[in-house]
């Protein structure tokens, strides 16, 4: 690793560097350093070996600057979002995910689809939705004041009692 690859250290890397330097200066044992770093003694010895080979830059992560292993392939997210915008705009993430898989052959997890839809403002998580405002029903002064009336023209009781009401 070159000096250009690691332009800065994170706080964890600086802390790790100080503790490894203390081990080299014999102020700490590898077991004490491992305990402070929360790693095994064997891993601490690996860090010491890496420090001796690469110097302070050996304490930086070798994954820095590389893409994630779980990253979506280039353009797949945009392709899926384009399909969702065109055809499944009013679908929820789970149904949109199923349709993408069945109809279009785009296999993504429902959580990935949910994140994509949330970022594109096609889906609002339940906790962030505006609450539904319901009209309050105030108490009536007398019992029986609130009566439900059927407004249809159908004869439900078929004049069984001979009242002749229509």
Q: Is residue 141 included in any domain, yes or no?
A: no
Q: Is residue 107 included in any domain, yes or no?
A: yes
Q: Which domain holds residue 102?
A: 76-126
Q: Are residues 55 and 83 in the same domain?
A: no
Indicate the number of domains in the chain: 2
CA dihedral 136, 137, 139, 141 (to 10 degrees): 130
**What confidence category does residue 165 fall into, taking pLDDT thresholds of 50, 70 and 90?**
low
**What confidence category does residue 145 fall into, taking pLDDT thresholds of 50, 70 and 90?**
confident
Q: Is residue 35 included in any domain, yes or no?
A: yes
Spell out the long-range contacts of 9-14 with Cβ–Cβ below 8 A and sequence spacing 24 or more: 9/56, 9/59, 9/60, 13/59, 13/60, 13/61
Q: Is the pLDDT of residue 136 over 80?
A: yes
Q: Are residues 92 and 52 in the same domain?
A: no
Q: Is residue 41 included in any domain, yes or no?
A: yes
Q: How far apart are CA 113 and CA 119, in angstroms?
A: 10
Query: Distance of CA 71 to CAs 18, 27, 59, 75, 108, Å?
Result: 33, 42, 25, 11, 12
**What confidence category does residue 4 fall into, taking pLDDT thresholds of 50, 70 and 90?**
very low
Q: Is residue 155 included in any domain, yes or no?
A: no
Q: Which of 68, 55, 50, 67 is nearest to 6 (CA)?
A: 55
Average pLDDT (85-104) is 95
Q: Quick check: 30 and 57 in contact, CB under 8 A?
A: no
Q: Is residue 51 included in any domain, yes or no?
A: yes
Q: Are residues 22 and 49 in the same domain?
A: yes
Q: Is residue 106 included in any domain, yes or no?
A: yes
Q: Is residue 158 included in any domain, yes or no?
A: no
Last residue in a domain, options 91, 109, 126: 126
């Amino acid at each position: 690793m070159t000096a250009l690859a690691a332009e800065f250290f994170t706080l964890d890397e600086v802390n790790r560097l100080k503790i490894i330097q203390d081990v080299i200066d014999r102020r700490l044992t590898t077991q004490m350093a491992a305990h402070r770093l929360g790693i095994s003694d064997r891993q601490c010895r690996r860090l010491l070996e890496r420090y001796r080979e690469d110097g302070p830059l050996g304490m930086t992560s070798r994954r820095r600057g590389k893409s994630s292993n779980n990253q979506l392939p280039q353009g797949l997210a945009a392709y899926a979002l384009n399909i969702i915008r065109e055809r499944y705009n009013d679908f929820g993430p789970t149904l949109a995910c199923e349709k993408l898989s069945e109809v279009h052959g785009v296999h993504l997890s429902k959580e990935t689809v949910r994140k994509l839809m949330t970022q594109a403002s096609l889906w609002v998580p339940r906790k962030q939705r505006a609450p539904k405002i319901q009209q309050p029903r105030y108490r009536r002064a007398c019992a029986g004041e609130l009566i439900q009336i059927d407004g249809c023209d159908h004869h439900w009781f078929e004049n069984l009692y001979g009242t002749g009401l229509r």
